[in-house]
Amino acid sequence: MQPSNTSFRYAAPTILRQRLSARFVVFASTVLVWAAVAYSAVGWWLRDAPVSVNTSSHLASATPATDTLQSPSVARALGAQATTAPAPPTQASRFQLMGVLNAEGGAGVALISVDGKPAKPYAVGKAVADGLWVQSTQAKRVSLGASADGPSTLSLELPSKNGK
């Protein structure tokens, strides 16, 4: 019996075909990857490149629209509210009475916070701020005035404990 060479005869072309198909797959995938890279690069370039449109000389010589717009009118059209300057703080709102120590003979001390700063003790007859002096202290009240002996211009009271 003679060995059949047909199995070897057909084996060589199939191996060659497999190598050829493997080479083709590598080549095709390489081409696809580079095509994707090129497509991405062109897309990014088009996205970031300045647009060159054929502009006529009439459009090029026209003044920009920002020169002719009136900003208050545009702001109103876009729904902006007119802002008003905040009112200056009143004299009473600058001071907050934090505590009172009332002594006999008119020698009391008031713990007063000025302009939201930490509270400091002020004795009767001492200046709290420019033009305001502690004149007298009562149980839950302090009187301030333009001078230590003049009429009272401002009266501060302790806030109630329940916040009312």
Whether the per-residue pLDDT at 108 is higher than 80: the answer is: yes
| pLDDT number for residue 34 | 96
What letter would DSSP give residue 55? -
pLDDT-wise least confident of 77-81, 85-89, 139-143: 85-89
Q: How confident is the model at residue 75 (pLDDT cuts 50, 70, 90)?
A: confident
Question: How many CB atoms sit inside 10 A of residue 109's CB?
Answer: 18
Quick one: fold of 91-157? Answer: SH3 type barrels. (2.30.30)
Residues 6 or more apart whose CB falls under 8 angstroms from that of 125 comprise 133, 134, 148
DSSP output for 73-133: HHHHHTTPPPP-PPPPPPHHHHEEEEEEE--GGG--EEEEEETTSPPEEEETTSEEETTEE
Provide the whole-model pTM.
Answer: 0.44
Contact 152, 107 (CB under 8 A): no
Where do the domains of the chain lie? 1-46, 91-157
For residue 134, what are the β-bridge partners? Answer: 144
For residue 152, what are the β-bridge partners? Answer: 145
Whether the per-residue pLDDT at 32 is higher than 90: the answer is: yes
Judge residue 144's burial from the number of C-beta atoms within 10 Å of its C-beta, 0-12 exposed, 13-18 middle, 19 or more buried.
buried
| pLDDT number for residue 157 | 87
